[in-house]
């Protein structure tokens, strides 16, 4: 079994897609107005509208209600990426810092309130 993707359900596919394009520096594939994918070298961030899960009824994911997931990106230089993104970020949770386990991390929220972590591992 291989991990394939994380799908974020949103009310505004285009807004969230543009945000993750900015964060990753990668252009999304947009096979339909209700769905996009940002493919990185190790995984996919899929972004779908509520229409893509409407058949689940009351069990469908609710946009903007995540309180348990952190979307993480391994980057070579947390400080450089933070400097590049800072002006566009509305909700910075943690400025670049060394975590107790040695990673350097910065955390912020995407436009739907999902927590995003950019991190780099300590040099060996």
Per-domain boundaries in the chain: 1-53, 69-124
Cα separation, 79 vs 104, whole angstroms = 9
The pLDDT tens digits of the residues spanning 67-101 come to: 889 999 999 999 999 999 999 999 999 999 999 99
pLDDT tens track for 8-29: 999 999 999 999 999 999 999 9
Q: Predicted confidence band at 123 (pLDDT cuts at 50, 70, 90)? A: confident
Strand order in the sheet with 92-98: 70-74, 115-120, 104-109, 92-98
pTM, 2 dp? 0.92
pLDDT at 124 over 80: no
Q: What is the mean pLDDT of the chain?
A: 95
Architecture of domain 1-53: 2-Layer Sandwich (3.30)
According to CATH, the superfamily of the domain at 69-124 is 2,3-Dihydroxybiphenyl 1,2-Dioxygenase, domain 1 (3.10.180.10)
């Amino acid at each position: 079994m291989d991990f394939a993707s994380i799908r974020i359900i949103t009310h505004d596919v285009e807004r969230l897609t543009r945000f993750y394009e900015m964060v990753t520096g990668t252009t999304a594939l947009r096979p339909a107005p209700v769905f996009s994918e940002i493919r990185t070298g190790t995984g996919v961030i899929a972004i779908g509208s509520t229409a893509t899960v409407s058949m689940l009824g009351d069990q469908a994911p609710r946009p903007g209600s995540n309180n348990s997931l952190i979307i993480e990106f391994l980057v070579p230089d947390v400080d450089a990426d933070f400097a590049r993104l800072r002006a566009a970020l509305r909700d910075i949770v943690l400025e670049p810092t060394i975590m107790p386990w040695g990673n350097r991390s910065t955390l912020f929220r995407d436009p739907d309130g999902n927590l995003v972590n950019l991190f780099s591992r300590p040099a060996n």
